[in-house]
Structure 1
Amino acid sequence: MSQNNSTKFYIAGSFRYSKLINNLANILEHSSFVRTYDWTVNKKADSIKKLHEIANKELQGIQLADFLVFIFPSGKGANIEFGIATALKKRIYILDMKNEIENFDLTSTFYFLDNVKIFKGSLDDFTNFIIDCEAK
């Protein structure tokens, strides 16, 4: 997938990874990738209306993205985003910093689909991995 100025990404993960997610996004953006939606700026939803608004923005972000980054492990929202990206046949990159993705109590069969690339290691090495994969 040849990377150019319009290659877009979406990051799925837990709020507990917000700092890591924003660091990753900044590195990718400095490499000419475009973030489709930054959900980390959202406050905790306090109404169904707000949930509806956020859900639509997140869905649109995934739809517009060329690839999805998934921080493992994450919660139900991120896994739903992963499922949407899978259904849309997006390229998916998983970051597993704790080498736990093969733990049967934590993993999912869908993490091992052909469109998914799993990376075990540090954030810096992961960003280089994504950049290298997208340059192909």
Structure 2
Amino acid sequence: MKKFYVASSFSNTNSVNYVVQQLVTKGYLHTYDWTKNAKTREEKSITLADLKEIGQKEKSAVMDSDFIVVLLPGGKGTHIELGIAIGLAKKAYIHSPDGAIDNPETTSTFYHLPDVEKCYGTLDDLLKKITD
């Protein structure tokens, strides 16, 4: 059973949950659901200790994954999580619905490495690429 992690921003929570649900339905194992941390942020003031604990969980989840999925635009931690995955030679799928990751003026050099697969279009297009 392949394990995965999805990196993105809280503004993409619905898309993250959709991708997670679809992959889990197909038998993949999700290593950590960071979207639940949004509730923590709403219910109380987040502390540095909370952030440290969340960061450790996210780092472990990326390390335990066979691959990661990055849904752009990402949040503050998205590119750190991508960096961890690249550093560990894990497969990464980067979803850019509008193809902006191919703009030389705004893209990241790390989007174009061999272990990074760029995906365009709908989330269903992304999921097909991952599961084929």
What TM-score do the two structures reach when normalised by structure 2?
Answer: 0.92
**Aligned-residue CA RMSD in angstroms?**
1.1
Q: Which letter maps to 2:131? A: I
Q: Is the 8 A contact 1:73 1:106 kept in 2?
A: no
What is the CA-CA distance between 1:102 and the residue it aligns to?
Answer: 1.3
- Distance apart, 1:125 and its partner CA: 1.4
Provide the rounded CA distance (Å) in 2 between the counterparts of 1:63 and 1:74: 19
Distance 1:105 1:17 in 2: 24
5+ long unaligned stretches in structure 2? none
State the shift of 1:82 in Å: 0.3
Q: Does 1:24 align with 2:19?
A: yes
How is 1:1-136 mapped onto 2 (pairs within 5 angstroms)? 6-42=1-37, 43-44=40-41, 46-132=46-132
Distance (whole Å) between structure 2 residues aligned to residue 106 and residue 17 of structure 1: 20
- Write 1 or 2 for the structure with the bigger share of helix: 2
Return the alpha-carbon distance in structure 1 between the equivalents of residues 73 and 12 of structure 2. 10
CA distance in 1, matches of 2:34, 2:94: 18
- d(CA) in 1 for partners of 2:4, 2:32: 8
Letter in 2 for 1:73: P
CA distance in 1 between partners of 2:35 and 2:104 (Å): 29
CA drift of 1:105 comes to 4.0
Q: Is the CA contact (8 Å cut-off) linking 2:31 and 2:62 kept in structure 1?
A: yes
CA contact under 8 A between 2:6 and 2:70: conserved in structure 1? yes
- Gaps of at least 5 residues in structure 1 are 1-5
Q: Which structure 1 residue ranges, 4+ long, deviate > 3 Å from structure 2?
A: none
8 Å CA contact 2:5–2:69 kept in 1: the answer is: yes
Q: Distance in 1 between matches of 2:26 and 2:65?
A: 16
CA contact (8 A) 2:8 2:71 kept: yes
Q: Report % sequence identity.
A: 39
Paired residues of 1:72 and 1:101 also in contact (CA < 8 A):
no
What CA deviation, in whole Å up to 9, does each residue of 1:9-49 have, x standing for no partner?
00000110000000000000001000000000003361110
Q: What TM-score, normalized to structure 1?
A: 0.89
